[in-house]
Structure 1
Amino acid sequence: MSSNEAFTGNEEAPTYAPSIPVPNVQELMREDPSQVPQRYVRDLKDRPKDTDLSHLSSLIPLIDFSLLLLGNEEELNKLDLACQDWGFFQKNKYAMPSDDIQGYGHGYVVLEEQILDWEIIEEYSNVIRKFGTELMESFSLIMGMEKEALLGLHKQLIQVYRVNYYPPCSKPDQVLGVSPHSDSSTITILMQDDGVCGLQIKHDNEWVPVNPFPYALVVNVGDVIEMWSNGKYKSIEHRAVANDNRARISYASFLFPHDKVEIEPLNHMIDQKTEQQIYKKVKYGDYLRNSMKRKMEGKAHTQMAKVEATLETL
């Protein structure tokens, strides 16, 4: 985890919900790759269906990040529609030019015979953080605010970086790599294996595969954006499926606010005709911990932040 500034003074670093230890799936596969432990087998209704919707993957919007940086109106409109209709989009990633410090890859290579650094995770994470910060400026604009407004609402931008590894599975039709869920972040930036498809998003009640697009990153709207926008921009359910012949690795960066930030719909995002407010005010740290204490069940964890959830308890 990283942030704009370290926790200072008497402020303690936040703690999160504990997780019950379970057997390591990689080790289980090494011991006997032909067997799937019963604990991983899904009920029939939850198993991935043998339907090929890969043709819909090409409909997932592709946003040109370089145009967003320039404030291109057409590209901002594409971002606006992508966040309303899909909640997901793919963002062109770009390598570091030889005369610049933006992009990702090896920096400070000055000699042909120079020994290159193997460890680039920290560098990648730092650059993704920069991308995320710049992307939030575009979100600010489509949400009708000044460029710096959304980042300012975070008080302190927190980043969590996670590597997901999915080994081959002998019975991929009976398991899920990750259960359906939406992210409790502001935005999530994901890099997939170029040759292995596993991510699926729920669109029009169908599970659409997000086929890896060369030189692109996948970005999805998180619950925080959905709450700030009063539901205009959707935090979409997604899941990961397994396959029987290739391992898959994905690299996810989650960006979200400081624990103490209070999240609620922005006044100008509430429909002025109906004045209907979908979400109530919640402290982000409470929301995050509540989400982490639950098993993944689609968007069930968002109920604690919804206005109707308050009415039901009266």
Structure 2
Amino acid sequence: MNLESSVSVPSVQELAFQRPEKVPPRYVRDEDGDDVIGPYPSDPSLRVPLIDMAKLVNADTHQLELQKLLLACRDWGVFQTHTLYQELIQQKLVNHGVSNTSIKNMENQVRRFFELPLQEKKRSAQRSGSLEGYGQAFVTSEDQKLDWNDMIFLKCLPIQNRKLDLWPQNPPEFRETLERYSEDIREVTIAIMKFITMSLELQDTQISESFREGLYDIRMNCYPPCPEPERVLGIVPHADNSGITLLLDCADFSGLQFLKDQKWVNVEPIEGAIVVNIGQIIEVVSNGIYKAPEHRAVVNKWKERFSIVTFCYPSPDMNIGPADQLIGEGKVAVYKKFTNAEYFSKFFNRKLDQSFLDMLKYDQ
């Protein structure tokens, strides 16, 4: 089995409803030599960078904020932005941003979906041979350790990629809300990518514009309360294979963590903010200047947490390799160049514990 499909597993939410005193063995991560919970400590003194989009679009503050963006992408691979929407609209940088209404509606629809009875949610269950739908991702064997989460994963853009038989019809406004949200997030992604390529001093707008015809896949996560949160993970440490990833945290407590200098850093939710992290495609395009960071999700003993994650990819017509301006004249290419199809074939046809980026590098 390759990674484009997933074995059906029980609902974690239904398990949590039973209020068990102990975590079932298949979710326990601190036994049998499984070290994904450690050995890295968490560091409450570190804070994920905050990028002010209003300053990026303002000529007087643009250059200083662009330098902050460069450092965030280079040293962290992740940043939060909290003045994204209205400022972009006012500056007419994009046709429209993600309004607070769109965000609140999306959060509400996700909550309402996960509040449905299990049988209703199963109407959108994953089909054989696909990751799309309600279930869990990347479960390739019956004895594999499981994450403490349920998800629904849907391909949203371009429109022809949608499998509407998997799009919930209940709650009634779910489809319309997701359609609008995905279109909004595409415009924001194009704007962010313009600044990311600008920070790399790339004059060619082809990279940022490729996201206009790109792919947008949205994963909606539910992390139920857990009786032994220190023994499980909501999602194991990983880096995203996307161009960039935009995450909307629907909680008032931290659950997302990024690895920085061998320490896990909590991302404290900011109302209306989006967390933006570099994906492996942009790490390759930047020739390793920008890093796709390792991150994970932890869970809470008492509270349920939801998140809405958009994986943003460039056009399938774009080859994936270091930008021409970043190699040559003494700058050695770290990564090989691949067609889009080759890149994804390598990603999905590998062992789950195999380093994907190492597969893309020239032998050093």
TM-score normalised to the size of structure 1? Answer: 0.80
Matched, 1:268 2:333: no
Residues 164 and 142 of structure 1: CA distance in aligned 2, closer, same or farther (over 3 Å) = same
Residues 56 and 161 of structure 1: CA distance in aligned 2, closer, same or farther (over 3 Å) = same
Matches within 5 A, 1:23-172: 23-44=10-31, 45-47=35-37, 51-57=41-47, 60-70=48-58, 72-94=62-84, 102-106=97-101, 120-146=177-203, 148-153=205-210, 156-172=213-229
Partner residue in 1 for 2:290: 233
TM-score normalised to the size of structure 2? Answer: 0.69
Work out which of the residue numbers 237, 256, 274 in structure 2 matches 1:199.
Answer: 256
| 3-state secondary structure, aligned to 2:46 | helix
Residues 283 and 226 of structure 1: CA distance in aligned 2, closer, same or farther (over 3 Å) = same
AA at the equivalent of 2:358: Q
AA at the equivalent of 2:196: F
Kept in 2: contact 1:287–1:304 (CA 8 A) = no
Structure 2: distance between partners of 1:230 and 1:36? 42
Residues 17 and 243 of structure 1: CA distance in aligned 2, closer, same or farther (over 3 Å) = same
AA at the equivalent of 2:289: K
Range with greater deviation from structure 2 (144-153 or 126-135): 144-153
Kept in 1: contact 2:41–2:264 (CA 8 A) = no
Structure 1: distance between partners of 2:63 and 2:352? 37
Matched, 1:18 2:74: no
Work out which of the residue numbers 355, 358, 362 in structure 2 matches 1:300.
Answer: 355
Partner residue in 1 for 2:310: 253
- Any gaps of 5 or more consecutive residues in structure 1? 1-14, 108-116
Q: CA deviation at 1:84?
A: 0.5
| 3-state secondary structure, aligned to 2:100 | coil
Q: CA deviation at 1:293?
A: 4.8
Q: CA deviation at 1:243?
A: 1.4
- Any gaps of 5 or more consecutive residues in structure 2? 91-95, 103-171
Work out which of the residue numbers 316, 334, 337 in structure 2 matches 1:278.
Answer: 334
Q: CA deviation at 1:188?
A: 0.5
AA at the equivalent of 1:246: K
**Identical positions, percent:** 35
Structure 2: distance between partners of 1:52 and 1:63? 23
Kept in 2: contact 1:180–1:296 (CA 8 A) = no
Kept in 1: contact 2:244–2:278 (CA 8 A) = yes
Aligned alpha-carbon RMSD (Å): 2.8
AA at the equivalent of 1:19: S
Partner residue in 1 for 2:299: 242
Say how many residue pairs are matched: 281
| 3-state secondary structure, aligned to 1:282 | coil
Residues 210 and 305 of structure 1: CA distance in aligned 2, closer, same or farther (over 3 Å) = same
Q: CA deviation at 1:96?
A: 5.3
Q: CA deviation at 1:228?
A: 0.6
Structure 2: distance between partners of 1:173 and 1:295? 27
Structure 2: distance between partners of 1:178 and 1:284? 26
| 3-state secondary structure, aligned to 1:255 | strand
AA at the equivalent of 1:286: E
